[in-house]
Amino acid sequence: MRLAMDTERIALTGAKETLLVTLAAKAEESRQPDSLLHDHWAAKAVARIDYNFAAMNIDRDMMIGLALRAHLLDGWARDFLARHPEATVLHLGCGLDSRVFRLDPGPGIRWFDLDYPEVIDPRRRLYPAREGTTLIGAAVTDPGWLAGIPADRPTLILAEGLLPYVAADEVVPLLDRLTAHLPGGELVFDAYSRIGLWLIRYQPAIRRTGAQLHWALEDPRELEQAIPRLRLLEELRAYDPACYPPAQIARMSAIARGAVLAIRMFPVLGTIGRLLRYSF
């Protein structure tokens, strides 16, 4: 029957299951009348997936926070693509994120979505094929897939919600391998301090998956030292006014608004989480 074909059963565990957390948060935020992300692709995908999303207990603050993170990374991506209309985008740990549809890049953009095969398979069924977009089913730390990525254009490497789940001793070699292979471009991702990782582990939705977080970054300059070809361009700390304008703060709970006030009084607290943009 057509209904059965349209329903996608997904059984993932651990770090892979967390992609459903981010997907559900973006979908729910996009259903709100004051939505920032307007990710209707995510909402349609969630409607087709056979999974107990209600058991995740994603609260409003998490929903807004994840939507805002995606919105800010989308903004960096749009800026890069505007400056490089003939470019490559390497979207690592893409999960079921609809970024390529949200951004709708022009015909000069080659886009690669990469994740585990068991993630890419349902992705093929949930989203339509898109000209200029290639799906790669592989572990991000497997060096073999990189040989298939052309190195003839400026490249945006984008990793949202990925690197904290990679083994701590594999992150620098991964980033070094990527930036050595490619001709130049930008690298954007989210990173967290050790305290930040601890806080994420105790998010009910994340804890329910049993996912383990490994890689922490205390100082963004550490990566410049480890990989000299990297240069830090921009750092947005948690609850930075540039990240969280008043309209977004007003959407949050009283507890979250209090946390924002505390972090702005003591800016060092904002280092628990960062959005980072490097050139290479």
Q: What share of the chain is helix, strand, coil (3-state, %, to 5)?
A: 50, 20, 35
138 pLDDT above the threshold of 70:
yes
Tokens, residue 187: 């690298």
- Reported confidence tier of residue 96, pLDDT bands at 50, 70, 90: very high
Report the percentage of the chain scoring pLDDT > 90. Answer: 83
Q: What is the mean pLDDT of residues 247-271?
A: 87
Please give the residue that has the higher pLDDT: either 5 or 243.
243
Residue pair 114/91 in contact by the 8 Å Cβ criterion: yes
pTM: 0.93
Taking residue 13's Cβ as centre, other Cβ atoms within 10 Å add up to: 9
Cα separations in angstroms, 220 against 52, 238, 271: 37, 14, 10
Q: pLDDT tens for residues 15-63? A: 999 999 999 999 999 999 999 999 999 999 999 999 999 999 899 999 9
Residue with tokens 């094929």: 129
SS3 state at 254: helix
- Reported confidence tier of residue 175, pLDDT bands at 50, 70, 90: very high
Whole-number pLDDT of residue 262: 86
DSSP assignment of 106-157 = -TTEEEEEEE-HHHHHHHHHHS---TTEEEEES-TT-GGGGGGS--SS-EEE
185 pLDDT above the threshold of 80:
yes
Q: pLDDT tens for residues 189-237? A: 999 999 999 999 989 999 999 999 999 999 999 999 999 999 999 999 9
Whole-number pLDDT of residue 84: 98
Q: What is the mean pLDDT of residues 79-102?
A: 98
Whole-number pLDDT of residue 7: 87
Whole-number pLDDT of residue 240: 82
Whole-number pLDDT of residue 269: 83
Q: How many residues does the chain have?
A: 280
267 pLDDT above the threshold of 90:
no
User: Domains, the chain, ranges and CATH?
Assistant: 2-279 (3.40.50.150)
271 pLDDT above the threshold of 70:
yes
Cα separations in angstroms, 102 against 84, 105, 140, 272: 18, 9, 23, 28
- Reported confidence tier of residue 5, pLDDT bands at 50, 70, 90: very low
Average pLDDT taken over every residue of the chain: 93
Comparing CA positions, the residue from 91, 84, 27 lying closest to residue 54 is 27
Q: What is the mean pLDDT of residues 112-125?
A: 97
Q: pLDDT tens for residues 156-169? A: 999 999 999 999 99
